[in-house]
Amino acid sequence: MKIIDKPRISRQRRIILEELQKVKSHPSAQEIYDMVRRRLPRVSLGTVYRNLEILAESGLIRKLESSGAQRRFDSEMGKHYHVRCLRCDRIVDLPFKPLGSLENNFSGLTDYLIMGYRLEFVGLCPECQHQELAGGKLKEAVKE
């Protein structure tokens, strides 16, 4: 990760970071925009996107690159994994439990230089487990 020298701290940038740090959810840019707008009613969505990008580049937050239509952001920088609900897409943290260096199993089997991996667990959140029992339909299942 390219760590950028400490970015200067504008009001908007500070508040975006603060709001993201407040929540344990993993909000999308739009959700962060909604949160920030309660404190800065005139903030623009473009500013939110620009700042999320800069905060991620400077290592203060993390962009989640895993599956899903829209990107999500996380201010928890410690090593951990995520579980995503297959029905409602809600993501929660899992404590870190080292899995060994998965990539070592594969280097030599490809001419790619393997540098790491992206791992995301999928399943059902408690609410959606109940809905499923009640006969709901899964949006999609584990495919990869």
Judged by the rule CB under 7 A, the positions of this chain that interact with DNA are 7-13, 28-30, 40, 42-47, 49-51, 53-54, 67-71
Tokens 């937050």: give the residue: 61
| 90 within 8 A of 84, measured Cβ to Cβ | yes
Q: Which member of 32, 55, 60, 125 binds a copy of itself (CB under 8 A)? A: 125
Nearest distance in Å: CB 42, a copy of itself: 27
Question: With CB cut-offs between 5 and 8 Å by kind, which of DNA, a copy of itself, none does residue 65 bind?
Answer: a copy of itself
Residue of 88, 94, 92, 93 lying closest to 130 (CA atoms): 88
* Residue 118 touches a copy of itself, criterion: CB under 8 A: yes
* C-alpha closest to that of 78 among 56, 58, 62, 64: 62
SS3 65: coil
Tell whether residue 123 is a contact of a copy of itself (CB under 8 A): yes
Between strands 91-94 and 81-85, the pairing is antiparallel
Residues 6+ apart with CB under 8 A from 116: 103
Residues 41-100 that bind a copy of itself (CB under 8 A): 56, 62-72, 81-83, 85-86, 92, 94-95, 97, 99
Q: SS3 for 100?
A: coil
Question: Can residue 134 be called a binding residue for a copy of itself (CB under 8 A)?
Answer: no
Residues that bind a copy of itself (CB under 8 A): 1-2, 56, 62-72, 81-83, 85-86, 92, 94-95, 97, 99, 102-103, 105-106, 109-126, 129, 137-138, 140-144
